[in-house]
Amino acid sequence: MTGIEDLDKILDGGIPIGNMVLVEGSCGTGKTTLAFEFLVRGALIGEKGLLVLTAEPPEKMLSNVPRFVFFDEKMIADGRIQIVQLEELEKIAGGALEIDAREKGLRFIQAIGEIIEKNGIKRMVIDSFSSFCNDDKNSIAKRHVLRKLGSLLYEKRCTAMVVSDGVDESEEIIADGVILLSNLERRGDLLRIMQVIKMKGADHSRSKYVVDLTTCGMLATPLLRGGAL
């Protein structure tokens, strides 16, 4: 179980252990918030989490997500949620990496594996994978790195959400699960919409849901199909 009640209902129990789930969507759809709640909910039940940030410092990320009433900053201070940036992964991987995107991504994964093993990490988030290889144009390299990451997570029995800014069908095929977040304009309002495209090992709903990001966590209600847009 993810601990996110409405998501677990949609997934008929949660994300299977060791699955790598892509959280896809455009700007402002709630990808980072959903992924961070996944880590916090894990920390509440004793599952240590790892947050890999590739595009912004921790302080900025934390300031931009809802202040969950169930989140305590001590979770970060005591290591229940560990936050690392790419610069720190570079140090673990052997210093500055002046190599191609594929090799850099593979070394980052090796460094992540060391962190998972050393700290007993059970949940991980990468935000975002689009910057992980540092080469958005090299789709072949990104797919290869994603396969290696999926194998590592399965081996370590670590469940992960990997945030992605765009929809890439080849990446969706490699991932164990895909959660798509989007915006829908209805009667002048902009709604956040969530749909689970796939989730290996789970009998999930494929319906669309309206998402509300609150201090009590993510809430999801079925999207009513009637009425004019």
Give residue-wise pLDDT tens across range 118-147: 999 999 999 988 777 655 556 777 888 899
Architecture of domain 17-180: 3-Layer(aba) Sandwich (3.40)
* Measured distance CA(15)–CA(27) in Å, rounded: 24
By the 8 A CB rule, do 82 and 116 touch? no
Q: What confidence score (pLDDT) does residue 135 get?
A: 53
Within 13 Å and on the Cβ side, how many CA atoms surround 61? Answer: 22
CA angle 15, 62, 191 (to 5 degrees): 65
* Measured distance CA(210)–CA(121) in Å, rounded: 31
Q: Which residue has the higher pLDDT, 82 or 186?
A: 82
CA-CA distances (angstroms) from residue 167 to 25, 26, 129, 197, 218? 7, 9, 12, 12, 22
pTM of the model: 0.92
Q: Which 8-state DSSP code applies to residue 193?
A: E
Q: Has residue 44 got a pLDDT over 80? A: yes
- 56-97: pLDDT as tens digits: 899 999 998 989 999 999 999 999 999 999 888 888 877 655
Across the chain, what does the average pLDDT equal?
A: 90
